[in-house]
């Protein structure tokens, strides 16, 4: 268990496309543990592997309903649209409004190699979209609505 360094916007690794996980090895278990540790230490609700410099399709999310570990997540269905504030551990001190689906359905595998399906709305739906985007080198700032950026007071 370890806290890893979070890569920040401007780091090229955040712009790369991540590779699918073909085999769940002990190294993947360590990575999942470290990602959760790093996310909780930073008070985040989600973290994608490229944010700690690992180009694998893995995300961890906890919106207050327990830890979700998703390997090779794929958004298979979306419905509706809703605009909300978003922030990212790789873009510290800022937030902006982004339009996301109201409902998403995601298929992934868990650390046991079992297929799991997650259906979500509200914050979990946003987190699933945001973190899945990271795996394709996309940051929320790419999708932010114009003139909606807020810079947090204590970071100015």
For Zn ion, the closer CB: 32 or 49 = 49
59: which 2 tokens?
């995300």
Please choose, out of 23-31, 67-75, 82-90, 95-103, the segment that lies near Zn ion by the rule CB under 5 A. Answer: 82-90
In the complex, residue closest to Zn ion by CB: 88
Binder to Zn ion among 68, 88, 98, 129 (CB under 5 A)?
Answer: 88
Min dist CB 87 to Zn ion, Å, is: 8
Q: Are 107 and 113 in contact (CB under 8 A)?
A: no
Min dist CB 41 to Zn ion, Å, is: 15
Min dist CB 51 to Zn ion, Å, is: 6
For tokens 């230490």, name the residue.
41
Establish whether 153 is a catalytic residue. no
Please give the radius of gyration of the chain, using alpha carbons only, rounded to the nearest integer: 15
Min dist CB 113 to Zn ion, Å, is: 26
DSSP class per residue in the chain: --PPPPP-TT-GGGGSPPBPP-S--HHHHHHHHHHHHHHHHTT-SEEEGGGGT--BSEEEE-SSS--EEEEEEEEEEEE--EEEEEEETTEEEEEEEEEE-SEEEEEEE-TTS-EEEEEEEHHHHHHHHHHHHHTTT--HHHHBPTT--EE-GGG-
For Zn ion, the closer CB: 88 or 128 = 88
> Is residue 60 at the binding interface for Zn ion, with CB under 5 A as the rule?
no
From 5, 20, 122, 131, active-site residue:
131
Please choose, out of 3-11, 55-63, 81-89, 107-115, the segment that lies near Zn ion by the rule CB under 5 A. Answer: 81-89
What residues make contact with Zn ion under the rule CB under 5 A? Answer: 88
> Which residues are the active-site residues?
131
């Amino acid at each position: 268990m370890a806290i890893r360094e979070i890569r920040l916007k401007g780091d090229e690794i955040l712009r790369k496309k991540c590779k699918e996980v073909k085999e769940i090895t002990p190294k993947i278990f360590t990575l999942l543990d470290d990602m959760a540790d790093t996310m909780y230490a930073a008070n985040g609700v989600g973290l994608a592997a490229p944010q700690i410099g690992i180009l694998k399709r893995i995300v961890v999310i906890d919106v207050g309903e327990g830890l979700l570990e998703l390997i090779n997540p794929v958004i298979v269905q979306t419905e509706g649209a809703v605009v909300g504030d978003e922030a990212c551990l790789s873009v510290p001190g800022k937030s902006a409004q982004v339009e996301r689906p109201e409902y998403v359905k995601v298929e992934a595998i868990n650390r046991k190699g079992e297929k799991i399906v997650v259906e979500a709305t509200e914050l979990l739906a946003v987190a699933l979209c945001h973190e899945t985007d990271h795996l394709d080198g996309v940051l929320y700032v790419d999708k932010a609505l114009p003139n909606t950026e807020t810079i947090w007071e204590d970071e100015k």
